[in-house]
Structure 1
Amino acid sequence: MSFGKASKAFGIPKTTILDHKNGKYKMGSVPGRKPVIPKNLEDSMVAKAIEASNKGFGVSKKQLLLKTARLCRTSKLPTPFKNGVPADTWWQGLKSRHPELSLRKPEALSSARTKMMNPTVIHNFFKDLAKIVSELGIAAKPERVWNCDETGKKFQHRPINVVARKGARVVSSRTSDSRENVTILACVNAAGTTI
Protein backbone atom coordinates (compact mmCIF):
# COMPACT_ATOMS: atom_id res chain seq x y z
CA MET A 1 0.00 0.00 0.00
CA SER A 2 1.37 3.42 -0.89
CA PHE A 3 1.78 6.15 1.73
CA GLY A 4 -1.00 8.18 0.06
CA LYS A 5 -3.45 5.22 0.14
CA ALA A 6 -2.52 4.43 3.78
CA SER A 7 -3.11 8.08 4.71
CA LYS A 8 -6.61 8.00 3.21
CA ALA A 9 -7.46 4.52 4.53
CA PHE A 10 -6.50 5.21 8.17
CA GLY A 11 -7.04 8.98 8.37
CA ILE A 12 -3.40 9.68 9.26
CA PRO A 13 -1.49 12.53 7.59
CA LYS A 14 0.98 11.32 4.96
CA THR A 15 3.82 13.28 6.60
CA THR A 16 3.22 11.48 9.92
CA ILE A 17 3.49 8.09 8.21
CA LEU A 18 6.71 9.19 6.45
CA ASP A 19 8.17 10.54 9.73
CA HIS A 20 7.59 7.16 11.42
CA LYS A 21 8.97 5.27 8.41
CA ASN A 22 12.12 7.42 8.33
CA GLY A 23 12.72 6.92 12.09
CA LYS A 24 11.99 10.50 13.16
CA TYR A 25 9.64 9.15 15.86
CA LYS A 26 9.91 5.92 17.82
CA MET A 27 7.06 3.40 17.68
CA GLY A 28 4.54 4.07 20.45
CA SER A 29 5.71 7.65 21.05
CA VAL A 30 3.12 10.24 21.96
CA PRO A 31 3.06 13.98 21.23
CA GLY A 32 4.09 16.49 23.86
CA ARG A 33 6.70 16.62 26.56
CA LYS A 34 7.87 13.52 28.38
CA PRO A 35 6.16 13.22 31.81
CA VAL A 36 8.20 14.61 34.71
CA ILE A 37 7.69 11.56 36.93
CA PRO A 38 8.74 8.13 35.60
CA LYS A 39 5.78 5.93 34.60
CA ASN A 40 6.32 3.32 37.35
CA LEU A 41 6.37 6.00 40.09
CA GLU A 42 3.33 7.76 38.64
CA ASP A 43 1.39 4.48 38.34
CA SER A 44 2.25 3.64 41.96
CA MET A 45 1.18 7.11 43.13
CA VAL A 46 -2.16 6.84 41.30
CA ALA A 47 -2.77 3.33 42.69
CA LYS A 48 -2.11 4.57 46.24
CA ALA A 49 -4.46 7.55 45.80
CA ILE A 50 -7.24 5.23 44.57
CA GLU A 51 -6.57 2.75 47.41
CA ALA A 52 -6.74 5.58 49.97
CA SER A 53 -10.07 6.69 48.48
CA ASN A 54 -11.42 3.13 48.67
CA LYS A 55 -10.53 3.02 52.38
CA GLY A 56 -12.23 6.34 53.19
CA PHE A 57 -9.03 8.40 53.43
CA GLY A 58 -9.08 10.04 49.99
CA VAL A 59 -6.63 12.80 49.13
CA SER A 60 -7.71 16.11 47.65
CA LYS A 61 -6.24 17.49 44.44
CA LYS A 62 -4.16 19.97 46.45
CA GLN A 63 -2.85 17.21 48.72
CA LEU A 64 -1.92 15.10 45.68
CA LEU A 65 -0.03 18.02 44.13
CA LEU A 66 1.88 18.62 47.38
CA LYS A 67 2.68 14.89 47.73
CA THR A 68 3.90 14.90 44.12
CA ALA A 69 6.19 17.85 44.90
CA ARG A 70 7.58 15.98 47.94
CA LEU A 71 8.10 12.83 45.84
CA CYS A 72 10.02 14.84 43.23
CA ARG A 73 12.19 16.43 45.95
CA THR A 74 13.01 13.16 47.73
CA SER A 75 13.64 11.33 44.43
CA LYS A 76 15.77 14.28 43.22
CA LEU A 77 13.79 14.51 39.97
CA PRO A 78 14.42 17.65 37.90
CA THR A 79 11.07 19.42 37.50
CA PRO A 80 9.77 22.40 35.54
CA PHE A 81 7.25 23.09 38.34
CA LYS A 82 7.02 26.65 39.66
CA ASN A 83 8.08 26.64 43.35
CA GLY A 84 8.52 22.86 42.98
CA VAL A 85 4.75 22.19 43.06
CA PRO A 86 2.87 20.89 39.99
CA ALA A 87 0.23 23.20 38.50
CA ASP A 88 -3.20 22.47 37.06
CA THR A 89 -1.68 21.63 33.66
CA TRP A 90 0.21 18.73 35.27
CA TRP A 91 -3.05 17.54 36.89
CA GLN A 92 -4.80 17.65 33.50
CA GLY A 93 -1.93 15.64 31.98
CA LEU A 94 -2.11 13.10 34.82
CA LYS A 95 -5.85 12.65 34.21
CA SER A 96 -5.25 12.16 30.48
CA ARG A 97 -2.58 9.51 31.22
CA HIS A 98 -4.84 7.89 33.85
CA PRO A 99 -8.45 8.26 32.61
CA GLU A 100 -9.68 6.24 35.60
CA LEU A 101 -9.07 9.30 37.83
CA SER A 102 -11.61 11.99 38.61
CA LEU A 103 -12.45 14.39 41.43
CA ARG A 104 -15.45 13.12 43.36
CA LYS A 105 -17.47 14.52 46.24
CA PRO A 106 -17.28 11.84 48.99
CA GLU A 107 -20.16 10.96 51.26
CA ALA A 108 -19.64 11.81 54.92
CA LEU A 109 -19.41 8.43 56.65
CA SER A 110 -18.61 7.95 60.32
CA SER A 111 -15.96 5.45 61.36
CA ALA A 112 -18.61 3.21 62.99
CA ARG A 113 -20.59 2.96 59.75
CA THR A 114 -17.52 2.14 57.63
CA LYS A 115 -17.08 -1.06 59.66
CA MET A 116 -20.55 -2.20 58.56
CA MET A 117 -19.86 -1.65 54.84
CA ASN A 118 -18.65 -5.10 53.89
CA PRO A 119 -20.25 -7.76 51.65
CA THR A 120 -20.84 -10.29 54.48
CA VAL A 121 -22.81 -7.86 56.68
CA ILE A 122 -24.86 -6.59 53.72
CA HIS A 123 -25.61 -10.12 52.45
CA ASN A 124 -26.75 -11.22 55.92
CA PHE A 125 -29.03 -8.15 56.23
CA PHE A 126 -30.88 -8.91 52.98
CA LYS A 127 -31.07 -12.62 53.82
CA ASP A 128 -32.69 -11.78 57.19
CA LEU A 129 -35.01 -9.22 55.55
CA ALA A 130 -36.24 -11.80 52.99
CA LYS A 131 -36.90 -14.28 55.81
CA ILE A 132 -38.96 -11.75 57.81
CA VAL A 133 -41.00 -10.66 54.74
CA SER A 134 -41.74 -14.33 54.01
CA GLU A 135 -42.70 -15.12 57.63
CA LEU A 136 -45.09 -12.14 57.78
CA GLY A 137 -46.67 -13.09 54.44
CA ILE A 138 -46.33 -9.58 53.02
CA ALA A 139 -44.25 -10.35 49.92
CA ALA A 140 -47.36 -10.00 47.71
CA LYS A 141 -48.72 -6.97 49.63
CA PRO A 142 -46.56 -4.01 48.60
CA GLU A 143 -48.78 -1.51 50.44
CA ARG A 144 -47.69 -3.17 53.73
CA VAL A 145 -43.94 -3.03 53.04
CA TRP A 146 -42.62 0.34 54.19
CA ASN A 147 -39.24 1.94 54.02
CA CYS A 148 -38.46 4.87 56.27
CA ASP A 149 -35.31 6.88 55.99
CA GLU A 150 -34.22 9.76 58.11
CA THR A 151 -32.04 12.41 56.62
CA GLY A 152 -31.07 15.88 57.59
CA LYS A 153 -28.58 18.67 57.76
CA LYS A 154 -25.56 17.67 59.83
CA PHE A 155 -23.60 20.17 61.86
CA GLN A 156 -20.18 18.87 60.78
CA HIS A 157 -17.75 19.65 58.00
CA ARG A 158 -18.47 18.62 54.43
CA PRO A 159 -15.61 16.61 52.94
CA ILE A 160 -13.71 18.15 50.02
CA ASN A 161 -13.40 16.47 46.62
CA VAL A 162 -10.81 13.69 46.60
CA VAL A 163 -8.97 11.85 43.85
CA ALA A 164 -10.71 8.53 43.13
CA ARG A 165 -11.33 6.06 40.33
CA LYS A 166 -13.70 7.41 37.66
CA GLY A 167 -17.14 5.80 38.01
CA ALA A 168 -16.55 4.60 41.59
CA ARG A 169 -19.94 4.07 43.20
CA VAL A 170 -18.86 4.69 46.79
CA VAL A 171 -16.31 7.34 47.71
CA SER A 172 -16.27 8.10 51.43
CA SER A 173 -14.28 10.36 53.73
CA ARG A 174 -14.13 10.02 57.49
CA THR A 175 -15.60 12.78 59.63
CA SER A 176 -16.25 13.33 63.33
CA ASP A 177 -18.91 11.30 65.13
CA SER A 178 -20.97 14.45 65.85
CA ARG A 179 -24.67 13.56 65.82
CA GLU A 180 -26.12 17.07 65.97
CA ASN A 181 -28.48 17.69 63.04
CA VAL A 182 -31.94 18.71 61.89
CA THR A 183 -33.77 15.50 60.97
CA ILE A 184 -36.35 14.73 58.26
CA LEU A 185 -38.12 11.35 58.25
CA ALA A 186 -39.36 10.22 54.82
CA CYS A 187 -41.58 7.13 54.48
CA VAL A 188 -42.68 5.29 51.34
CA ASN A 189 -44.21 1.85 50.80
CA ALA A 190 -43.51 -0.62 48.00
CA ALA A 191 -46.76 0.44 46.28
CA GLY A 192 -45.50 4.04 46.04
CA THR A 193 -47.59 5.68 48.78
CA THR A 194 -45.72 8.29 50.79
CA ILE A 195 -46.16 9.96 54.15
Structure 2
Amino acid sequence: KVKMGGYNPVFTPAQEEELKQYIHMFEESLFGLTYRDVRRIAFQLAEMNGIPHTFCRNKQEAGKDWLYGFKERHPSVVLRNPEPTSIARAMGFNRVVVGHFYDNLESLLTQYKFSPNDIYNVDETGLMTVPNKPSRVLALRGKKQVGVISSAERGTLVTVELCMNAAGNFVPPMFVFPRKKENLRLMEDAFPGSFATYHPSGWINKELFIHWFKRFVEYS
Protein backbone atom coordinates (compact mmCIF):
# COMPACT_ATOMS: atom_id res chain seq x y z
CA LYS A 1 0.00 0.00 0.00
CA VAL A 2 1.07 3.57 -0.67
CA LYS A 3 1.55 5.85 2.33
CA MET A 4 -0.24 9.20 2.22
CA GLY A 5 1.15 11.71 4.71
CA GLY A 6 0.01 10.86 8.22
CA TYR A 7 -2.92 8.79 6.99
CA ASN A 8 -3.01 5.06 6.49
CA PRO A 9 -4.18 4.22 2.97
CA VAL A 10 -7.69 2.85 2.61
CA PHE A 11 -7.28 1.06 -0.72
CA THR A 12 -4.49 -1.02 -2.20
CA PRO A 13 -2.71 0.26 -5.34
CA ALA A 14 -4.67 -2.30 -7.38
CA GLN A 15 -7.98 -1.05 -5.99
CA GLU A 16 -7.07 2.57 -6.67
CA GLU A 17 -6.05 1.64 -10.21
CA GLU A 18 -9.45 0.02 -10.69
CA LEU A 19 -11.13 3.18 -9.40
CA LYS A 20 -9.03 5.30 -11.75
CA GLN A 21 -10.06 3.17 -14.74
CA TYR A 22 -13.68 3.49 -13.64
CA ILE A 23 -13.38 7.29 -13.67
CA HIS A 24 -11.78 7.22 -17.12
CA MET A 25 -14.57 4.97 -18.40
CA PHE A 26 -17.15 7.56 -17.39
CA GLU A 27 -15.09 10.32 -18.99
CA GLU A 28 -14.94 8.40 -22.28
CA SER A 29 -18.71 7.95 -22.09
CA LEU A 30 -19.09 11.75 -21.76
CA PHE A 31 -20.32 11.47 -18.17
CA GLY A 32 -17.50 13.14 -16.25
CA LEU A 33 -17.65 12.59 -12.49
CA THR A 34 -17.58 15.43 -9.97
CA TYR A 35 -15.47 15.55 -6.81
CA ARG A 36 -18.48 14.50 -4.76
CA ASP A 37 -19.29 11.65 -7.15
CA VAL A 38 -15.84 10.13 -6.64
CA ARG A 39 -16.00 10.57 -2.86
CA ARG A 40 -19.31 8.73 -2.78
CA ILE A 41 -18.02 5.98 -5.05
CA ALA A 42 -14.98 5.54 -2.77
CA PHE A 43 -17.29 5.14 0.23
CA GLN A 44 -19.40 2.56 -1.60
CA LEU A 45 -16.29 0.68 -2.73
CA ALA A 46 -15.01 0.44 0.84
CA GLU A 47 -18.40 -0.57 2.25
CA MET A 48 -19.19 -3.22 -0.35
CA ASN A 49 -15.78 -4.84 0.00
CA GLY A 50 -15.62 -4.70 3.80
CA ILE A 51 -12.56 -2.42 3.74
CA PRO A 52 -11.89 -0.59 7.05
CA HIS A 53 -12.15 3.17 6.64
CA THR A 54 -12.83 6.42 8.49
CA PHE A 55 -15.09 7.92 5.83
CA CYS A 56 -18.19 9.86 6.91
CA ARG A 57 -21.07 7.44 7.36
CA ASN A 58 -23.68 10.17 7.73
CA LYS A 59 -22.86 11.68 4.34
CA GLN A 60 -21.79 8.30 2.92
CA GLU A 61 -18.73 9.73 1.21
CA ALA A 62 -14.95 9.82 1.56
CA GLY A 63 -13.27 12.92 2.96
CA LYS A 64 -11.59 15.70 1.02
CA ASP A 65 -8.20 14.64 2.37
CA TRP A 66 -8.61 11.21 0.79
CA LEU A 67 -9.64 12.80 -2.52
CA TYR A 68 -6.64 15.15 -2.63
CA GLY A 69 -4.30 12.26 -1.86
CA PHE A 70 -5.92 10.17 -4.59
CA LYS A 71 -5.41 12.97 -7.12
CA GLU A 72 -1.75 13.33 -6.11
CA ARG A 73 -1.16 9.61 -6.59
CA HIS A 74 -3.01 9.62 -9.92
CA PRO A 75 -2.27 12.93 -11.69
CA SER A 76 -3.90 11.68 -14.90
CA VAL A 77 -7.29 11.87 -13.16
CA VAL A 78 -8.99 15.19 -13.84
CA LEU A 79 -12.24 15.81 -12.00
CA ARG A 80 -14.67 18.55 -12.94
CA ASN A 81 -16.65 20.96 -10.81
CA PRO A 82 -20.44 20.70 -11.11
CA GLU A 83 -22.08 23.12 -13.54
CA PRO A 84 -25.67 24.29 -13.95
CA THR A 85 -27.52 21.71 -16.03
CA SER A 86 -28.42 24.06 -18.87
CA ILE A 87 -24.81 25.24 -19.25
CA ALA A 88 -23.42 21.72 -19.02
CA ARG A 89 -25.78 20.53 -21.74
CA ALA A 90 -25.02 23.50 -23.97
CA MET A 91 -21.27 22.93 -23.61
CA GLY A 92 -21.67 19.21 -24.23
CA PHE A 93 -23.66 19.55 -27.45
CA ASN A 94 -21.08 20.54 -30.03
CA ARG A 95 -19.54 18.95 -33.11
CA VAL A 96 -16.41 17.65 -31.38
CA VAL A 97 -18.23 16.04 -28.45
CA VAL A 98 -20.99 14.56 -30.60
CA GLY A 99 -18.42 13.20 -33.03
CA HIS A 100 -16.51 11.65 -30.14
CA PHE A 101 -19.71 10.01 -28.91
CA TYR A 102 -20.40 8.37 -32.28
CA ASP A 103 -16.78 7.28 -32.62
CA ASN A 104 -17.10 5.50 -29.27
CA LEU A 105 -20.43 4.00 -30.31
CA GLU A 106 -18.98 2.67 -33.57
CA SER A 107 -16.02 1.19 -31.71
CA LEU A 108 -18.29 -0.61 -29.22
CA LEU A 109 -20.60 -1.92 -31.94
CA THR A 110 -17.63 -3.25 -33.90
CA GLN A 111 -16.03 -4.84 -30.83
CA TYR A 112 -19.09 -6.45 -29.23
CA LYS A 113 -21.43 -6.93 -32.23
CA PHE A 114 -24.46 -5.60 -30.36
CA SER A 115 -27.81 -6.35 -31.97
CA PRO A 116 -30.72 -3.87 -31.84
CA ASN A 117 -32.17 -5.96 -29.00
CA ASP A 118 -29.06 -5.20 -26.91
CA ILE A 119 -29.11 -1.40 -27.28
CA TYR A 120 -31.35 0.36 -24.76
CA ASN A 121 -32.22 3.94 -24.01
CA VAL A 122 -33.67 4.90 -20.64
CA ASP A 123 -34.97 8.23 -19.43
CA GLU A 124 -37.38 9.65 -16.92
CA THR A 125 -40.20 12.08 -17.42
CA GLY A 126 -42.35 14.03 -15.00
CA LEU A 127 -46.12 13.98 -15.41
CA MET A 128 -48.61 16.27 -13.69
CA THR A 129 -51.83 14.66 -12.50
CA VAL A 130 -53.72 17.86 -13.38
CA PRO A 131 -52.95 19.60 -16.72
CA ASN A 132 -51.38 23.02 -16.34
CA LYS A 133 -52.94 24.30 -19.54
CA PRO A 134 -56.37 23.43 -21.03
CA SER A 135 -56.28 21.59 -24.35
CA ARG A 136 -57.53 23.33 -27.49
CA VAL A 137 -61.14 22.54 -28.37
CA LEU A 138 -63.39 22.93 -31.41
CA ALA A 139 -65.92 25.78 -31.30
CA LEU A 140 -68.23 27.73 -33.59
CA ARG A 141 -66.49 30.37 -35.69
CA GLY A 142 -67.09 33.88 -34.41
CA LYS A 143 -67.60 32.95 -30.78
CA LYS A 144 -65.38 35.25 -28.73
CA GLN A 145 -65.03 33.12 -25.60
CA VAL A 146 -65.00 29.36 -25.22
CA GLY A 147 -65.40 27.90 -21.75
CA VAL A 148 -64.06 24.64 -20.43
CA ILE A 149 -64.52 22.91 -17.10
CA SER A 150 -61.15 22.53 -15.43
CA SER A 151 -60.02 21.12 -12.13
CA ALA A 152 -59.27 23.53 -9.32
CA GLU A 153 -56.83 21.03 -7.86
CA ARG A 154 -53.16 21.68 -7.89
CA GLY A 155 -51.44 18.92 -9.84
CA THR A 156 -48.90 16.61 -8.26
CA LEU A 157 -45.77 15.32 -9.95
CA VAL A 158 -45.43 11.65 -10.84
CA THR A 159 -42.12 10.46 -12.30
CA VAL A 160 -42.13 7.67 -14.89
CA GLU A 161 -39.00 5.70 -15.81
CA LEU A 162 -39.19 4.61 -19.45
CA CYS A 163 -36.87 2.27 -21.33
CA MET A 164 -36.87 0.91 -24.90
CA ASN A 165 -34.37 -0.88 -27.11
CA ALA A 166 -33.46 -0.22 -30.74
CA ALA A 167 -35.68 -3.12 -31.88
CA GLY A 168 -38.76 -1.36 -30.50
CA ASN A 169 -39.25 -3.51 -27.41
CA PHE A 170 -39.74 -1.75 -24.11
CA VAL A 171 -39.46 -2.53 -20.42
CA PRO A 172 -42.66 -1.99 -18.40
CA PRO A 173 -42.39 1.46 -16.82
CA MET A 174 -41.77 2.31 -13.20
CA PHE A 175 -43.92 4.98 -11.56
CA VAL A 176 -42.69 7.11 -8.66
CA PHE A 177 -45.65 8.50 -6.73
CA PRO A 178 -45.26 11.44 -4.33
CA ARG A 179 -46.25 9.67 -1.15
CA LYS A 180 -44.75 7.52 1.62
CA LYS A 181 -47.31 4.72 1.91
CA GLU A 182 -48.25 2.18 -0.74
CA ASN A 183 -51.57 2.62 -2.53
CA LEU A 184 -52.39 -0.18 -4.99
CA ARG A 185 -55.31 1.76 -6.44
CA LEU A 186 -52.86 4.09 -8.14
CA MET A 187 -51.86 1.26 -10.47
CA GLU A 188 -55.37 0.23 -11.53
CA ASP A 189 -55.53 -0.30 -15.33
CA ALA A 190 -51.78 0.28 -15.63
CA PHE A 191 -49.89 -1.43 -18.43
CA PRO A 192 -49.11 -5.09 -17.54
CA GLY A 193 -45.78 -5.38 -15.76
CA SER A 194 -45.72 -1.74 -14.66
CA PHE A 195 -44.84 -1.24 -11.03
CA ALA A 196 -45.12 1.53 -8.47
CA THR A 197 -42.58 3.00 -6.09
CA TYR A 198 -43.03 5.80 -3.59
CA HIS A 199 -41.04 8.85 -2.53
CA PRO A 200 -42.32 12.01 -0.81
CA SER A 201 -40.99 14.26 -3.59
CA GLY A 202 -42.21 12.14 -6.49
CA TRP A 203 -38.67 12.20 -7.92
CA ILE A 204 -36.48 9.20 -8.59
CA ASN A 205 -33.33 8.78 -6.49
CA LYS A 206 -30.36 6.42 -6.39
CA GLU A 207 -32.15 3.70 -4.41
CA LEU A 208 -35.20 3.74 -6.66
CA PHE A 209 -33.05 3.61 -9.79
CA ILE A 210 -31.24 0.54 -8.48
CA HIS A 211 -34.65 -0.99 -7.79
CA TRP A 212 -35.65 -0.23 -11.38
CA PHE A 213 -32.37 -1.59 -12.74
CA LYS A 214 -32.95 -4.97 -11.09
CA ARG A 215 -36.29 -5.19 -12.87
CA PHE A 216 -34.60 -4.12 -16.10
CA VAL A 217 -32.16 -7.04 -15.83
CA GLU A 218 -35.11 -9.44 -15.50
CA TYR A 219 -36.75 -8.16 -18.68
CA SER A 220 -33.61 -7.70 -20.76
Larger radius of gyration: 1
TM-score computed with the length of structure 2 as normaliser: 0.36
Structure with bigger helix share is: 1
Structure number with greater CO (CA < 8 Å, separation at least 6) is 1
